[in-house]
Homo-oligomer: A and B are copies of this chain.
């Protein structure tokens, strides 16, 4: 039982102003948290109990499903990160040790879990297998913001599963998806949490998802179609709107232009044609080889690099960056006048955005200063692969998808499932013996995150009113709040509290008897801490030989003592 007379973590009279987050300000007022520095919060006792309750829900559901909880290290050796090529990521902290030794405080634990399982996975019989832990993680955020939603230090439940192949995963996936939804349901978020496709549907990897909770202040926009299929707007794919497909196909021809028209705006003015009729070209270089990715799309659209990455990572075991001036020289093209290269010994792969299918008679550069082409058509191009690489735009509402049947809602990500492919198992040499006793090298991995401290922030936001946080009973810091209004009744109140505790309830006993500790203060704290059941023992209730019990959302009643 928590006796408030001996509890220093008082609530404040009013909510401190916090610019970017309404719930953070309420949490500060409630003595839930205290900021140690931007992006790192102290969890004070009341908040810590909410944390433990949420962790317990997650733990129970994970354990029931047969996943194994463990605890990996925070301090990790540099070699792990060099093995996977992730040592130099600037958002990950490097920690100097003695001499030239450096460690990393882990932002995620693929680099721990893979070498651990390398020691233990021996045969196909050990697969599938899923382990998890709940622990703090660290990211060197340039600007930490939004209270608990994006911190330098945060608590994460990260699970990792290992599979012989994608089919093996697909069976397993149904289980863990259910586990996640049961968790969110027990946290009373179930009705407003959807599984959103994290890769835009059209692309073939159906094995990565986000769990998104609808929230007015959410940072994502979730699109749902009439069948309730959900996806993140940022990654959504569309059937592109037809522009001039009814026009006659003209014959392609070279034309003179001027050196000044080095961007889309100048080009549309010069040719007196709409931007969607221009071809836009963007060139990326693979980071660790001399190969290039050449993406072409409609001039009114931009590239969404996440979509592109998801499309091409099948082919390259590498990441890409925007090509530099020197890179462009290497492949004999000119910035502002990029078009397919004349000739080269370098490897260049072309990707054509689906939007090109909806326009005829394009304008294009000619890969030479002050030269252009007009009436380019798909048939003129040496098409390799179409795909969906464009960034959805607000004016896509005019697309020919049945937009009016879609719903758009703001949401916050509370969990995710990512296909890691063999990105970690390969460099660590994770292998197993198959049924024929043959060594197999490629262990498919997935990871499953729930940002626990982030989830707490989302829940505070979701369950808050102006002065309450209506915690679900499953996570409320205590289940009962006993208000004592008269010093002489503290003994009765304590007995009642002990009785409630014996029956498994947790109790705050508000036995503060100072001058300022009036009923208003006490009832206010009960609300601010979101305690679902309130009991008042006062001279008035004692006249009726009892106490007043108010269960949240119900009428008060007098219970005989």
Does A131 belong to the interface (CB within 8 Å)? yes
A94: chain B residues at CB < 8 Å are 95-96
Among candidates B36, B97, B514, residue contacting A112 with C-beta atoms closer than 8 Å: B36
Among candidates B5, B45, B70, B136, residue contacting A70 with C-beta atoms closer than 8 Å: B45
Q: Cα distance A95–B94 when bound, in Å?
A: 7
Q: How far is the CB of A469 from chain B (nearest CB, A)?
A: 18
Chain A contact residue count (CB 8 A cutoff): 60
The stretch that binds B, out of A73-81, A352-360, A519-527, A548-556, is: A73-81
Q: How far is the CB of A53 from chain B (nearest CB, A)?
A: 13
**Interface readout for A104-140 with B: 1 if CB under 8 Å, 0 if not?**
0100000010001101111001100101010010101
Q: Cα distance A409–B125 when bound, in Å?
A: 49
Tell me if A71 and B95 are in contact (CB < 8 A).
no
**Interface readout for A68-94 with B: 1 if CB under 8 Å, 0 if not?**
111111111100100000000000011
Known contacts A93-B95, A142-B98; decide if A41 and B6 are in contact (CB<8 Å): no
The stretch that binds B, out of A7-15, A293-301, A327-335, A380-388, is: A7-15
A70: chain B residues at CB < 8 Å are 42-45, 47-48
Tell me if A105 and B116 are in contact (CB < 8 A).
no
Tell me if B6 and A73 are in contact (CB < 8 A).
no
A454: chain B residues at CB < 8 Å are none
Q: Cα distance A36–B71 when bound, in Å?
A: 12
Taking CB atoms and an 8 Å cut-off, the chain A residues in 2-52 that contact chain B are: 2-3, 5-10, 31, 34, 36-37, 40-45, 47-48, 51
Q: Cα distance A121–B10 when bound, in Å?
A: 9
Q: Which chain B residue has the least Cβ–Cβ distance from A77?
A: B37
Secondary structure at the A interface, as helix, strand, loop or mixed, is: mixed
Q: Cα distance A68–B6 when bound, in Å?
A: 10
Known contacts A66-B3, A98-B140, A140-B98; decide if A73 and B8 are in contact (CB<8 Å): no
9 closest A-B pairs by beta carbon, nearest first, are: A43-B71, A8-B120, A37-B77, A45-B68, A40-B73, A36-B73, A8-B126, A75-B153, A40-B75
Binding site for B on A (CB under 8 A): 2-3, 5-10, 31, 34, 36-37, 40-45, 47-48, 51, 66, 68-77, 80, 93-98, 103, 105, 112, 116-117, 119-122, 125-126, 129, 131, 133, 136, 138, 140, 142, 152-153, 514
What are 30 A-B pairs with beta-carbon distances under 8 A?
A2-B68, A5-B125, A7-B68, A8-B120, A8-B121, A8-B122, A10-B120, A36-B75, A36-B77, A37-B75, A42-B72, A42-B73, A42-B112, A44-B70, A45-B131, A73-B153, A74-B74, A74-B153, A75-B138, A93-B95, A93-B97, A94-B95, A95-B95, A95-B105, A97-B152, A98-B140, A98-B142, A105-B105, A125-B514, A136-B136
